Amino acid sequence: MGTRLYIRPDLKNSVMFCGWPGIGNIGINAIDSLRRALRAKEFGRIEPWDFFDPGEVLIENGLLTDLKFPTNKFYFQRVKNQDLIFFIGQQQPTEGRTRYAEGQKAYQMANLVLDVAAEFDCRRVYTSGAAVTQIHHTSKSRVWAVPNNQNLVEEVKQYENTVLMSAIEGPRGQGVITGLNGLLLGVAKKRGLEAICVMGEIPYYLQGAPWPYPKGSRSVIEVLTKILCIDIDLGKLDELARSAEENIEGFLESLYRTEGIPPEVRDEIERLRDIGPTEPGPITEEEQKKIMEHIDELFDQGGRKDERHL
Amino acid sequence: MKDIFKFSEQPEFENPSLIVGWHEDAGRLSPRVIEYLNKKINAKSFCEIELLGFFTLAGVAIENNIAQFPECRFYHGQRNDLLVFGGSEPQFERHKFLDAIVDLAQHYCRTRELYTVNGTISPIAHTDPRKILAVFNQQEFQKRLRGYGLQDMNWKGPPAISSHLLWIAQRRGIPGVSLWTEIPFYLAACEDSQAVKTTLGFLDQKFDLGLDFGELDEQIAEQNGKMAQLREEEPSIDRCIGMLESGLSLSGEEQMELTRAVTGFLEQG
């Protein structure tokens, strides 16, 4: 179980950005888009076999030529005198029962990531994920930010289009961040390292959808590029966001038309269309639960069937 | 690593070949091959893998009225050039589990070659001969086994546990092959004695085991008799099997119907 570094770049006072798959793949798509835009170079990886099962085998003419595991790679780049590290994980380590990281393996993974942060003089870590909330898919996603120490609160308040948990959940600002995004924040805190989780909003009725939600990723990138004082071309992401919105509209329309979901659920989703994100949610928790029962059932029906393994 | 193994004795080996089979398999091929092989070579278990950490151990499963429990054992017979492993697929820590198997095979037994036995579902009729498809982890080993009638496999997709094991052996420089014997899809849930015999036939030839197939031949004859009876009683089943025998494919619905009918009929005893 370990990390393999191919090169040891000379990084000073670096900032690390971490992305994993999660709801709407908002976090990983945001961080990976940023990494690609900045042309960060790969410099190491966490060996996957102690954390993951292989996902694909390649057999050609009777020879086993490759066994592919989910990758967990480190990249670096220097931008405007800032040393940046990116960590992109294709899967969250689990103990086999849940979709998101938890347990011993997740803790080990979080520590391996932060070992690399420490080795390359990292001063701060950003993780990114999704904030499930009552917005409509035509609305712009806000970013929810959770720092791991009080000193960062004032800074976070200055970020554009960003809210603290207290703005969502009331003065006590409570909530839970599941998976590695949350765990890394906690382990960083334990190790005395500053960390902030930035989460792009996704409509709650899409949280079980098998598609990405680029709108949420775009909002996260907007915040991160402002923090870094850099500009990157977001044209491709905008295109993806437009196309995703059209697809979601089409999907919901077809459900409404075929009465795939009851009319009252349709009305509840449509009530969100004209509500701004700063306004209180128009749907009660009971209503939200009812909608989720219908929508999740539909997404489950499209789930992958068991495949043949060789 | 030491804690993973529980030895009951410490036999000596002379660069043995390791034959690996799993308890769950299409046509019950893998468990039957290991069981038959062990019986015929008078093999006994000398080491088992501790289950803790690899299985949920949350109660027991029941099959055919009997409580089942995971079991992962190494066996040896009178010949010191053969090592057999039969086990349940681990539910957790698959890489660690497979690494342990290869570790014991390599460091304790000084294994020179690895063979895994498996069934693969195929759109053939039970009256067709069973081919053995093969996946090697070294080209040299592939060349050495030319002449045994194995057919090269091509595949891209989710890996089975045997492919994972083969890959670990490859990284450690141990030549290995996964043998995938064809199972007619409608016998996948039952036992395919013909495929078991085909696989054992390869092992018999490769290791000069002098196996007696009398018991298996009886089972094959019995199953073929039952299948003939079913074909006679059910014209639609006879038509489907006839199509497969002619190299024609069946619709999804026909495949389901055939599988249901054959499984139900053979399970009745």
Q: Is A47 on the interface with B (CB under 8 A)?
A: no
Asked if residue A105 belongs to a domain, the reply is yes
Tokens describing residue A237: 């992401």
Residues A33-89: tens digit of each pLDDT: 999 999 999 999 999 998 999 999 999 999 999 999 999 999 999 999 999 999 999
pTM, two decimal places: 0.84
pLDDT, residue B62, reads 83
Which site among B98, B163, B256 would you substitute to test the A interface, given the most A Cβ atoms closer than 10 Å to its Cβ? B163
Q: Is A50 on the interface with B (CB under 8 A)?
A: yes
Give the residue among A184, A248, A190 at the shortest CA–CA distance from A216: A248
**What rounded mean pLDDT belongs to chain A?**
87
Contact of A49 with B98, CB cutoff 8 Å: no
Answer whether residue A2 shows pLDDT above 60. Answer: yes
Answer whether residue A111 shows pLDDT above 60. Answer: yes
> B92 and B192 share a domain?
yes
> Positive or negative, the Cα torsion across A248, A250, A253, A258?
negative
pLDDT, residue B244, reads 97
Residues A31-44: tens digit of each pLDDT: 999 999 999 999 99
Tokens describing residue B6: 């529980």
Q: Is A305 on the interface with B (CB under 8 A)?
A: no
pLDDT, residue B231, reads 96
Work out the number of other CB atoms within 10 angstroms of the CB of residue B242. 14
Percent of chain A exceeding pLDDT 70 equals: 84
Asked if residue A221 belongs to a domain, the reply is yes
pLDDT, residue B148, reads 96
Q: What is the mean pLDDT of residues A132-145?
A: 92
Asked if residue A37 belongs to a domain, the reply is yes
Answer whether residue A304 shows pLDDT above 50. Answer: no
At residue A100 the predicted structure's pLDDT band, cuts being 50, 70 and 90, is low
Supply the CATH number for residue A28's domain. 3.40.50.10900
Contact of A48 with A198, CB cutoff 8 Å: no
User: Which domain covers residue A183, as residue numbers?
Assistant: 3-301
pLDDT, residue A97, reads 58
> B228 and B146 share a domain?
no
> Positive or negative, the Cα torsion across B63, B65, B69, B74?
negative
Higher pLDDT: A209 or B46? It is B46
pLDDT, residue A308, reads 55
> B160 and B259 share a domain?
no
pLDDT, residue A259, reads 76
Distance from A98 to chain B by nearest Cα, in Å? 13
pLDDT, residue A278, reads 53
At residue A173 the predicted structure's pLDDT band, cuts being 50, 70 and 90, is low
User: Which domain covers residue B186, as residue numbers?
Assistant: 2-212
Asked if residue A296 belongs to a domain, the reply is yes
> B151 and B196 share a domain?
yes
- Burial level of A203, CB count in 10 A (0-12/13-18/19+)? buried
Higher pLDDT: B58 or A208? It is A208
At residue A286 the predicted structure's pLDDT band, cuts being 50, 70 and 90, is low
> B173 and B230 share a domain?
no
CA–CA separation, B76 and B7 (whole Å): 12
Which site among A57, A61, A67 would you substitute to test the B interface, given the most B Cβ atoms closer than 10 Å to its Cβ? A57
- Cα dihedral B135, B137, B142, B143 in deg (nearest 10): 160
pLDDT, residue A305, reads 38
Helices H, strands E: what count in chain B?
A: 8, 12
At residue A306 the predicted structure's pLDDT band, cuts being 50, 70 and 90, is very low
Q: Which 3 state secondary structure label does DSSP give A84?
A: strand
Q: Report which residue type is found at B253.
A: E
CA–CA separation, B116 and A131 (whole Å): 47
Higher pLDDT: B96 or A301? It is B96
Q: Is A55 on the interface with B (CB under 8 A)?
A: yes
Asked if residue A309 belongs to a domain, the reply is no
Please list the rounded mean pLDDT of every run of 10 residues in chain B (269 residues).
Answer: 85 95 96 95 95 87 82 93 96 94 95 97 96 98 96 96 98 97 96 97 95 94 96 95 96 95 88
Residues A223-232: tens digit of each pLDDT: 999 999 999 9
Q: What is the mean pLDDT of residues A214-224?
A: 97
> B186 and B220 share a domain?
no
Answer whether residue A98 shows pLDDT above 50. Answer: yes
Contacts of A310 in chain B (CB under 8 A): 120, 135, 153, 155, 157-160, 163, 180
What is the bridge-based pairing of β-strands A122-133 and A14-19?
parallel
pLDDT, residue A300, reads 58
Domain count, chain A: 1
At residue A303 the predicted structure's pLDDT band, cuts being 50, 70 and 90, is very low
Residue at which a domain ends, from B169, B194, B212 = B212
pLDDT, residue A163, reads 92
Q: How many CB pairs under 8 A join A and B?
A: 85
Answer whether residue A282 shows pLDDT above 60. Answer: no
Domain count, chain B: 2
> B83 and B139 share a domain?
yes
